[in-house]
Structure 1
Amino acid sequence: MSNRLTIVFPDSIGGKATPTRGTKVFTPDGVPIGGVQRIELVAEAGDLWRAKIECLAVIEGSVVAEVSGPAGDSGMEKEPQAEVVAPSDEAGGG
């Protein structure tokens, strides 16, 4: 199975500008990805186009976060660093 997503843009307006509203992102097996908030297309000379896609995440159940870190310049006693463990990982199922 391919690891490439498909981005489908809406039709341009009068052949001039392409609106962002209506853009859809699909998984390799054709399932639409919901909650997309931003798509950034990146190109480097001699390379392929790449997309950075930001989505809203929906977390079902609880999330355990451990915060730790060394003191820093932020004025806080400790710089926060979070490790998020999904419920299935906690139970050894992930």
Structure 2
Amino acid sequence: MTDDFFAPPPFKAEEALAGLKRQLREWRLVEREGRFELQGRAIVELRLEGSAIHARTVRKLAMSPQWDETRLRSSADVRRFGDALQRQLAHWADRDD
């Protein structure tokens, strides 16, 4: 038997990026020039870097945002990123109500 029997499948960054972009559009974010916007303000940037996804998110909604950067190198990273972003969007929506 091989030792990698329980290893996760290889990460396919292109497919994961397409799925993440689809998810962001489902959340009603507008894609413009490689950025996803909420209420006309950029909140997420995604781009492919080799076998990973380079993701930038804003700390708070602002006209001149400060960005946090992260590398998504696995499906688990993509899920965590999506979950965290969804929580942040819910927080911003609650603040606006």
Normalising by structure 1, report the TM-score. 0.24
Higher relative contact order (CA 8 A, sep 6+): 2
TM-score by length of 2: 0.24
Higher CA-based Rg: 1
